[in-house]
């Protein structure tokens, strides 16, 4: 890789060249970028097709740089893009070739956090001004915006990271020939001035990296079963299929199933009488089952078999006089469903502090159960505290913490101490994903939970040359792939998978869809 220069051992000093086709674009960019990158960072390259590439060839000799970006004004071609919006190219489609921009989601996310309305997708380069007659054809091909230079300037990139950013002036609703164009152009130029800091942040993290990939990661058997249950219900019974709560705790899974015809509701009173209804993987209380039966709903229970095991144990433990303690987190659907197996008979224990002070009528008659998605360290500390207080403490016959939760935490611990940063892919309401973040932090490593690659803050990557990437049991594998692709867009990437076990468990589907 040309251009990586050492700042301190293990780190790099990235240098960014920003190409601005028009003089007014160059002036706008220099206002914010010159203080951050120095006086020579922004090059006025001229406009109109291949002449820009020749101009850049004249400007670059003797320049050693690590990344190249094209920034300026552009035209939107879809109604979903408005004047003043920013388009970050996921690829640049030119007359001769298409240039990929794999780090685009990282840059787009940083611009969103800076307050911009950002769209990430294909940008087309044309050798002429694109008028409304061409907009529809470009939009049908997936293009978001057009310019006249990016594809030609990208030829100077070589194997360096490349970005193309355009602030939209005209759109199908606000054509270039309209009376409002000067006003929109002035506004777009102001916005162009403001994109400098995120561009500089992007440049500051380019460079070679190593990724440590723990395995297992992503979907577990219970999540696979729950998602397939909804998919099969839609195929067999047709849309809509109602799902009580989120089938699994991942926003991308929910959005995908919603597009296919699943309707997610909080409670059964939102479901029409007689409708096909799926219960989520986290389990429900007997009262919810009874309500569904009273309503005549066609129920398909997608509760994870490992959660069902906890419910069975709760019913068994509460038959006698023992105090039953449930170790879990308040408000989680799995906790709510288990506590409601015997209302008033099961006491929630959320922390070691709770375990230290919980009152028990008979210390000789105490049992405990656990939420399946707890951290091993957290749950062990609580159980040890309870066992110290109540030596006769009884627990489940086998560990309540799910095998997938255990496996993902064990795999992450095997690599976390060697990483500068750990990224855990998973939604904020995913308990097992949050526990992975805590697992990495207990190893002394910086760790962040991200819903997808667009939520990775570039500031986290500044001093991170070894990055651990994993995913919670409810996160689709493709989300991890997207993070890796984006990191590759920042420079050479070495990916090493570390597998601690192989999962072969598969649960059968509910009889209604099997």
Instruction: Give the model's pLDDT for residue 14.
Output: 58
Hey, how many other C-beta atoms are within 10 angstroms of the C-beta on 359?
6
pTM of the model as a whole? 0.92
Ordered structural domains, the chain, with CATH: 16-204 (3.40.50.1580), 209-217+404-499 (3.40.1010.20), 221-305 (3.40.50.11270), 307-389 (3.40.1010.20)
Question: How high does pLDDT run on average in the chain?
Answer: 93
Q: For residue 291, how far is the Cα from the chain centroid?
A: 36
Mean pLDDT across the stretch 326-334?
A: 94
- The Cα 122–Cα 136 span in angstroms is 14
Active site residue 482: no
d(C-alpha 104, C-alpha 162), whole Å? 9
Q: What is the pLDDT of residues 137-181, one digit of tens each?
A: 999 999 999 999 999 999 888 899 999 999 999 999 998 888 899
Confidence of residue 122 (pLDDT cuts 50, 70, 90): very high
**For residue 4, is pLDDT > 60?**
no
Q: What is the pLDDT of residue 40?
A: 86
Which entry of 334, 377, 381, 384 is annotated as an active-site residue?
A: 334
CA angle 125, 167, 462 (to 5 degrees): 100
Q: Give whole-number Cα distances, 392 to 320, 323, 362, 379, 397, in Å.
A: 15, 12, 10, 18, 15
């Amino acid at each position: 890789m040309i251009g990586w220069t050492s700042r301190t051992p293990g780190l790099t000093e990235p240098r960014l060249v920003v190409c601005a086709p028009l003089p007014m674009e160059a002036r706008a960019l220099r206002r914010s970028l010159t203080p951050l990158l120095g006086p020579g960072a922004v090059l006025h390259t001229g406009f109109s097709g291949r002449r820009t590439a020749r101009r850049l060839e004249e400007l670059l000799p003797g320049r050693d740089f690590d990344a190249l970006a094209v920034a300026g004004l552009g035209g939107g071609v879809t109604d979903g893009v408005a004047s003043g919006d920013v388009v970050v190219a996921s690829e640049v489609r030119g007359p001769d070739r298409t240039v990929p921009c794999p780090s685009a989601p990282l840059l787009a996310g940083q611009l969103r956090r800076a307050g911009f309305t950002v769209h990430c997708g294909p940008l087309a380069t044309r050798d002429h001004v694109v008028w409304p007659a061409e907009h529809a054809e470009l939009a049908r091909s997936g293009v978001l915006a057009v310019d006249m230079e990016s594809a030609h300037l990208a030829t100077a990139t070589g194997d360096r990271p490349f970005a193309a950013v355009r602030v939209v002036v005209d759109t199908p609703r606000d054509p270039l020939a309209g009376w409002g164009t000067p006003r929109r152009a002035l506004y777009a130029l102001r916005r162009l001035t403001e994109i400098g800091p995120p561009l500089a942040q992007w440049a500051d993290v380019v460079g070679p990296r190593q990724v440590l990939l723990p395995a297992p990661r992503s979907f577990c058997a219970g999540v696979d079963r729950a998602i397939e249950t909804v998919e099969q219900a839609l195929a067999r019974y047709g849309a809509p299929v109602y799902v009580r709560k989120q089938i699994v705790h991942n926003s991308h899974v929910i959005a995908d199933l919603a597009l296919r015809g699943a309707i997610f509701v909080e409670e059964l009173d939102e479901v029409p009488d007689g409708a096909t209804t799926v219960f989520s993987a986290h389990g429900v209380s007997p009262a919810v089952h009874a309500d569904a039966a009273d309503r005549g709903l066609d129920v398909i229970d997608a509760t994870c078999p490992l959660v069902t095991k906890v419910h069975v144990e709760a019913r068994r433990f509460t038959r006698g006089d023992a105090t039953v303690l449930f170790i879990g987190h308040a408000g989680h659907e799995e906790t709510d469903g288990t506590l409601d197996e015997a209302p008033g008979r099961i006491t929630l224990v959320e922390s070691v502090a709770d375990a230290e002070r919980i009152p028990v009528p008979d210390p000789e008659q105490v049992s405990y159960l656990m939420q399946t998605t707890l951290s091993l360290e957290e749950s062990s500390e609580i159980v040890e505290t309870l066992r110290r207080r109540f030596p006769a403490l009884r627990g489940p016959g086998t560990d309540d913490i799910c095998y997938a939760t255990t496996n993902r935490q064990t795999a992450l611990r095997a690599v976390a101490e060697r990483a500068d940063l750990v990224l855990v892919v998973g939604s904020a309401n995913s308990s097992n994903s949050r526990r992975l973040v805590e697992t990495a932090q207990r190893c002394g490593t910086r760790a962040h939970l991200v819903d997808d690659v667009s939520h990775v803050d570039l500031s986290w990557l500044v001093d991170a040359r070894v990055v651990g990437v994993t995913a919670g049991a409810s996160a689709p594998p493709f989300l991890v792939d997207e993070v890796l692709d984006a990191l590759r867009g920042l420079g050479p990437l070495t990916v090493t998978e570390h597998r601690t076990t192989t999962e072969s468990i598969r649960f059968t589907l509910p009889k209604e869809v099997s």
